[in-house]
Amino acid sequence: MILASVLTTNLAILVLAGFIGFVVISKVPNTLHTPLMSGTNAIHGIVLLGGLLLFGLAGLDAFSKALLVIAVAFGTINVVGGFLVTDRMLDMFKSRPKPKSADQEGPDAKPGADGGAGS
Amino acid sequence: MSATPIATSFVQSESFIYVLYIIAFALFIQGLRGLSGPTTAVRGNRIAAVGMGIAVIATLLNPDEGNWGLIALGIALGIAVGVPAARQVKMTAMPQMVALFNGVGGGAVAIISWVEFRSYGSTYGDRTIDIAGATIRLGGGVPTYVAIFSVFAAIVGSVSFWGSNIAFGKLQEILPGRPISLGPAQQIVNLVLLILAVAAGIDLVAGAHSELLFIGMLIVAALLGNAVVLPIGGADMPVVISLLNAFTGLSAAATGMALNNPALIVAGMIVGASGSILTNLMAVAMNRSIPSIVAGGFGGGGAVEGAEGAGAHDGTVRSTSASDAAIQLAYANRVVVVPGYGMAVAQAQHAVRELTKELESRGVEVSYAIHPVAGRMPGHMNVLLAEADVPYDQLKEMDDANPEFQRTDVSLVIGANDVTNPAAKNTPSSPIYGMPILEVADSRSVIVIKRSMNPGFAGIENELYFDPKTSMLFGDAKSAVSEITGELSAL
């Protein structure tokens, strides 16, 4: 009974999370797809938690522990690297103040603009 | 610890940890919502990162937690590798970086499943001991669903790890970008590998007591990951990475189901869903179906046999010089830059920005038309141009850009090919027929900067180059653009 309820509760969470993911992501504009891919990539680094949880088990042999160190290191690379890289990418989208008007050449910059596309 | 026994037991209680997990995945969802706009995206990413921090802390509060030294070692190793990699990677190398991060995530999933299996006593079934020739059941088998999710995570994680590494190798040009395939036998080999992996998995779920079988299953899945990605050409790699990203997400969710951890379930599933959508969007933009991409063989640069006949095009190509191009651009009212893969490869984005600055200072109205799959990933071109300080509002997406071409004097196509080919609209027999394109041919004149007349990754001729109003400027994108800028400032 108890097992069945854990399973069904988790299945419900699984299905709902799928729909939430679908709805939240569908609204993202094309231009942000690369950062989005990188950001979601960082989020699945959450498998790190699996490694941490298993370290809490009693009676792990040395080989299992060595494997878990690798798993935690991999998960950490995924999380830390993923978020940092996404942050760097997104930072470039931030609108920077651009005092460009000063060195703009003004109205005299358009002489012969009506000349069309000559060659 | 002993000073506050009540507080300690409260923060280590299952409910408290569960509540932290709920906060963590709420932050993930909020963070992803933030990513839906350029102004909120930075904050969104940071919100998600905070959620991740909370999820890690919650896990470490678990009263059974131990092996602190090894945990610290693993995290320290991960930071030592991940932080410098993320700090130093060039923006043009972003796709392979994502592939690599995705790969290690998949690897972590596979390893965790393996350790989990070992911790059950190398079987999902009841443990047994042999005493005096008789086998005695000790019980302790795990629920079938736990076994199923673990095996699923192990197979998919291993496929994702190896597939991502191959994708990384191809994009980093450690491996050749062209398809490496066994020919028609490839499909059969893939199918056999898949059946073998699944059969091993079923045997394990049924209670087989063999670590060798588990390792064998991981190895077969690894071979499958290699066999699926190796035959896929470099140009299709973004779609593959996105697909593998979704796979890793799903495998993380499966790990969460096996370990009964809600944060893993929610986060993994959201990534699985978003990755699937992204993959589909990319495939649609390239007019490819996901099965045909996975079937491979296409996208290696002239790999399509039928393309040979197209070489017999008898139109003439007009080539131009940097100074002529500069004059043409200087006297335009409106210029649209169409950047493509070639610009990304030549790292010409800064040179392009210099050119457009020069044009703007002369009063020319400049915008950029971005095809959804320009560059190596959807949105990759936007990142590259943003890196070069191009104002966000000058970047036009395809649907906004297309109606504007008719009132554009010069379209400057830099290293883009198939995404501008009118054959996608006019020639039903063309392999790219139906693919949405940037309608560059509608503008009054076109300048194409390109290395040579070689066809693009679809392996077909571009009618645009034979159009009388098109002139070609042959050369490396970066030096050609810089030359034009030089000529322009000398005018």
The segment with the largest mean pLDDT, out of A107-111, B194-198, B229-233, B364-368, is B194-198
Q: Do B261 and A53 count as a contact with CB atoms less than 8 A apart?
A: yes
* Percent residues over pLDDT 90 in chain B: 48
Residue B208's contacts (CB-CB under 8 Å, 6 or more residues apart) are B123, B125
Tell which residue, B225, B260, B181, has the closest CA to residue B217: B225
Which of the four CATH numbers 3.40.50.970, 1.20.120.160, 3.40.50.1220, 3.40.50.720 does domain B313-490 have? 3.40.50.1220
- Identify the weakest region by mean pLDDT among B133-147, B319-333, B347-361: B133-147
- Rounded Cα gap, residues B266 and B389, in angstroms: 36
- Strand order, beta sheet including B334-339: B395-397, B365-370, B334-339, B410-414, B445-450, B470-474
The answer to whether B332 and B208 have CB atoms below 8 angstroms apart is: no
Query: B-contacting residues of A 56-95, CB under 8 Å?
Result: 56-61, 63-65, 67-95
Complex ipTM value: 0.80
Instruction: Sketch the domain layout of chain B as residue ranges.
Output: 1-88, 94-300, 313-490
pLDDT digits (tens, 9 = 90+) for B259-292: 999 999 999 999 999 888 878 877 776 667 787 7
Provide long-range contacts, Cβ within 8 A and 24+ apart, for B399-403: B401/B336, B401/B367, B401/B369, B401/B370, B401/B438, B402/B369, B402/B438, B402/B439, B402/B442
Q: With H, G, I as helix, E, B as strand and everything else as coil, classify residue A66.
A: helix
Which residues of B are designated catalytic? 418
User: Which residues in chain A are contacts of B324 at CB distance < 8 A?
Assistant: 119
- Rounded Cα gap, residues B179 and B170, in angstroms: 10
Q: Do A119 and B242 count as a contact with CB atoms less than 8 A apart?
A: no
CA distance A31 to chain B (A): 4
CA distance A10 to chain B (A): 7
What pLDDT does B459 receive?
62
The answer to whether B379 and A86 have CB atoms below 8 angstroms apart is: no
pLDDT bin (cut points 50, 70, 90) of residue B218 is: very high
Query: Considering the entire predicted model, what is its pTM?
Result: 0.80
Going by their DSSP bridges, the two strands B410-414 and B334-339 should be labelled as parallel
Mean pLDDT of B325-337: 92
pLDDT digits (tens, 9 = 90+) for B201-210: 999 999 888 9
Say yes or no to pLDDT of A117 above 60.
Answer: no
Q: CB of A109 within 8 Å of any CB in chain B?
A: yes
Instruction: Sketch the domain layout of chain A as residue ranges.
Output: 32-95
